[in-house]
Amino acid sequence: MAIDIKVPAAGESITSANIAQWYKNDGDTVKKGDALVSLETDKVSNELEAEADGVLKITVGEGEEVDIGTVIGHLEPSGSTSSEPEQKPASSEESAKSDAAPQETTPEPEKAPAKEEKEESEPTASGEPVDIKVPAAGESITSANVAAWRKQDGEQVEQGEVLVTLETDKVSNEVESPVSGIIQILIPEGEEVEIGKVIARVTPGASASSQSSEPKSAPKEEAPAPKQEAPAPASQPADSRPKPDLSVVSAPEPKQPAPVKEGRTTRRKMSMLRRKIATHLVNAQQTAAILTTFNEVDMTAVMNLRKSVQEDFVKKHGVKLGFMSFFVKAVTQALKDVPSINGRIEGNEVIENHFYDIGVAIGTEKGLIVPVLRDCDEKSFAQIEQDILDYAAKGKSGKITIEDLQGGVFTISNGGVYGSLLSTPILNPPQSGILGMHTIQQRPIAVDGKVEIRPMMYLAMSYDHRLVDGKEAVTFLLRIKDCLEAPHRLMLEL
């Protein structure tokens, strides 16, 4: 019985998808788990795999936009057609063909080697090139930069092997080969291309030029030798091809166009991420009425609490108790107390958020990224610290995805790690507020009529004055100050 291939649901706001690329041709025999098709939505792209072995029947071609749940193809059992010819010779009505039947069956052992040779040569002759396209990376991303090719033009590649690293204005990602074969690079490194652009082609089994000479020069008894070395995957069945060991593939740094020295200056092309950051920050200042309010917080209580429980905290949770989890929890509590800041302006309407997804700015070698910690009101201090560590590791290795950066309602930026004493952070649109942390500095302050040296931190909160009034902004920042100076009340949500 045929199995329908349907477009799966991809999110509550996604109603349709685009058929980006079929990895198999109509009528191809596929194995369970084979990647069949790449689907693109307005936010993400994903691949559908075969649920079972069978023959693929494509009903919707590439480039078509279809609704969620639409049947775009079928998987028909591969044994349904092969069993019919075996039953026909056995029927009594065709007894006249019984004499011919033995003649067809008896030569089979002699023709078997010829069939094997045909199977070896077919991938080289009939394999059609598979296009390598720039995949969709998000609703606001329209182009990508070819950062680094992992393979050379004309080189043999394996299915699942990383071919190229692409950089968008938000994240970088790697594109793998859908098939084994010879790669033809069409777009060189450093070029900016549109989403969906064909940047290379992989010709399945194109390495058979080296195999075609093997039967002539080497006897059949030596055929197992190439299987041990496996230089060409076309000499083996598809399900027994050796898969590449991706654990040993190191991620090279994306190559940028070489700087050009002009006298006493050097000119180099601005990276795509840096161009996007520049545009994003300028737009933020042009589309919002940004105002900043300041305060300072005494970090004595937080530092003493961390020192007293740090050893037990690490033993139980496996992560250190840092400052950021306190600030995330303090911001979450302040958003509950001053809900007007947990919103945004959209046209002539105000959108109020009833969730607490907090963005945390992280500096990387490529630029600033703001991954989002989800549902911070429901997470413990340990869970928040673990999420931050995970994002830091992903950012360092270039594995941050577009989903990691979307959906935040408020942002925390920690310039203090670089030694900043005071700054005015810029909003992260469409959010209406951002908190700036700064370096902790020992300063003399008055405590109960006496001068004491305390670890102090300046706080800066920038907000969209179109939506948030000064009173609300000041109240919000004071609420954060109170939570940090009395962390026991913060843990009790008081």
Cα-Cα-Cα-Cα torsion 207, 213, 217, 219, nearest 10 degrees, comes to 60
Looking at per-residue pLDDT, the higher value among 273 and 174 belongs to 174
Report the pLDDT value the prediction gives residue 255, as an integer from 0 to 100: 47
pLDDT in tens, 214-237: 444 444 444 444 444 474 444 444
Q: What dotted CATH number matches 1-106? A: 2.40.50.100
Would you call 286 exposed, middle or buried from its count of C-beta atoms within 10 A (0-12, 13-18, 19+)?
A: exposed
**Does the domain made of 119-241+250-269 have the CATH classification 2.40.50.100?**
yes
Report the pLDDT value the prediction gives residue 43, as an integer from 0 to 100: 55
Residue 426, helix vs strand vs coil: coil
Position 405 pLDDT exceeds 50: yes
Q: Which of 79-83, 162-166, 249-253, 322-326 has the lowest mean pLDDT?
A: 249-253
Whole-prediction pTM value?
A: 0.53
Q: How far is CA 5 from CA 72, 161, 325, in A?
A: 6, 26, 44
Question: 119-241+250-269: same fold as 1-106?
Answer: yes
- Structural domain boundaries in the chain: 1-106, 119-241+250-269, 274-491
Catalytic positions:
465, 469
Position 140 pLDDT exceeds 70: no
Q: Which two tokens stand for residue 155?
A: 């080189």
CB atoms within 10 A of CB 15: 13
Residue 406, helix vs strand vs coil: coil
Helix H or strand E segment including 212: helix 208-212
Q: Are 375 and 369 in contact (CB under 8 A)?
A: no
Report the pLDDT value the prediction gives residue 283, as an integer from 0 to 100: 80
Q: What share of the chain is helix, strand, coil (3-state, %, to 5)?
A: 35, 30, 35
Q: What dotted CATH number matches 274-491? A: 3.30.559.10
Report the pLDDT value the prediction gives residue 104, as an integer from 0 to 100: 44
Q: Are 198 and 133 in contact (CB under 8 A)?
A: yes
Report the pLDDT value the prediction gives residue 470, as an integer from 0 to 100: 93
- Residue 343 to residue 330: CA distance in whole angstroms: 17
Angle of helix 381-397 versus helix 300-317 axis, rounded to 10: 80
pLDDT in tens, 188-208: 887 888 888 899 999 987 554
- The conformation of residue 338, written as its DSSP 8-state character, comes to S
Position 84 pLDDT exceeds 90: no
pLDDT in tens, 323-368: 999 999 999 999 999 999 999 998 889 999 999 999 998 877 766 7
